[in-house]
Amino acid sequence: MRRTTRLLISIVLTISWMLSACGTNTPTLGLAPSKQLVHKAIALRVSQTQQQLTQQLKSLPSKFNITQVKEEQIEPFFMGDLATYRVLGTYSLTIELPQQRVTQQDNLFDIYLQRQNEGKTWRLVVPQTMDQGKPSNWHTYLIR
């Protein structure tokens, strides 16, 4: 009986190892970024864009609020050795201007979020240059 049990355990472990070794080379969706993290990443991108516009227009920055974040697609992959997730969806944006309040609904977002080695922090990954329609150089920002 012991010999049969050992043989059965060995077979199960061997099959399990073979399945994991032959699996796809993508991160698991179970470790995908939370909705709260996606919300923070969108806010970081909007803030960066706002800062660029403020510098170009030489105007005062305005306050904004992001609501109704809807994740429609998550694509996991590895960038280097780090789990990275491309998240696509929509959000609503309300901007407080000096004289008025502007709300834009169903804004599209396409962001890349990268889980760091320790799994404690995430970074927003932004493509800097494109090569034949695909990002070739990236810049990262810590999400707080």
Express each pLDDT in 71-81 by its tens digit: 999 999 998 88
CA-closest candidate to residue 60, choices 94, 97, 93 = 97
**Counting every residue, how long is the chain?**
144
Note whether residue 14 is domain-resident. Answer: no
* Distance separating alpha carbons of residues 30 and 23, to the nearest angstrom: 16
* Distance separating alpha carbons of residues 79 and 114, to the nearest angstrom: 8
Note whether residue 132 is domain-resident. Answer: yes
Structural domain harbouring 120: 26-142
Number of domains the chain contains: 1
* Distance separating alpha carbons of residues 93 and 73, to the nearest angstrom: 20
| pLDDT for the residue 27 | 82
Note whether residue 19 is domain-resident. Answer: no
Note whether residue 125 is domain-resident. Answer: yes
Residue 23's pLDDT band, with cuts at 50, 70 and 90, is: very low
Note whether residue 9 is domain-resident. Answer: no
